[in-house]
Amino acid sequence: MRKILVTPGEVYGRLMLLCEAPPVGRRRRRAFFCKCDCGNFTVVVLGDLRSGCTTSCGCYQKEVAAAARTTHGGYGTKLFSVWRNAKARCYNPKNKRWARYGGRGIEMHSLWKREFTAFRDYVTALPAWPGEDGIGNTADELSLDRIDNDVGYFPGNLRWATKKQQANNRSR
């Protein structure tokens, strides 16, 4: 059988061939040392490279798996906590503030209740959005506030407000 010519420096997917490695496996298949775009080194059988079965050191599969597990990328952020806590106040009778919210009919826009991303897109587009760290252009920390306390979390009824604005907007 004729030996396939391979030149160091050839690129297959994310792998660049460096040099030939000792044969691999019981069938003594031809293999090569390769460097991946991520910086890792690996040994790959030539047939797997040429057929496209192997295109990286394994980093690509990890990226695909991580992307599949990521729904919106907001978990653990301050804004995600704001959304989750607002939902709990409105819909969880075990929440200590439920009586002041869900108990008196305060609800959340149905799309926002289902999808964090819709909520995030709306509130980050509001004027004075303080950014993910929670600090705005002023020295005061801003937080999400309902303009009319008798209406729930709906479009047109939310704003970013200072602590003083929130205190002045309290229902008694």
Q: How confident is the model at residue 140 (pLDDT cuts 50, 70, 90)?
A: low
The Cα 49–Cα 113 span in angstroms is: 47
Q: Give the burial class of 3: count Cβ atoms within 10 A of its Cβ; 0-12 exposed, 13-18 middle, 19 or more buried.
A: exposed
Which tens digits make up the pLDDT trace of 71-82? 777 788 888 999
For residue 45, which phi and psi values (nearest 5 degrees)?
-70, 135
Element (H, E) at 86: helix 78-91
The Cα 98–Cα 105 span in angstroms is: 10
Q: What is the pTM of this model?
A: 0.57
Which tens digits make up the pLDDT trace of 97-125? 999 999 999 999 999 999 999 999 999 88
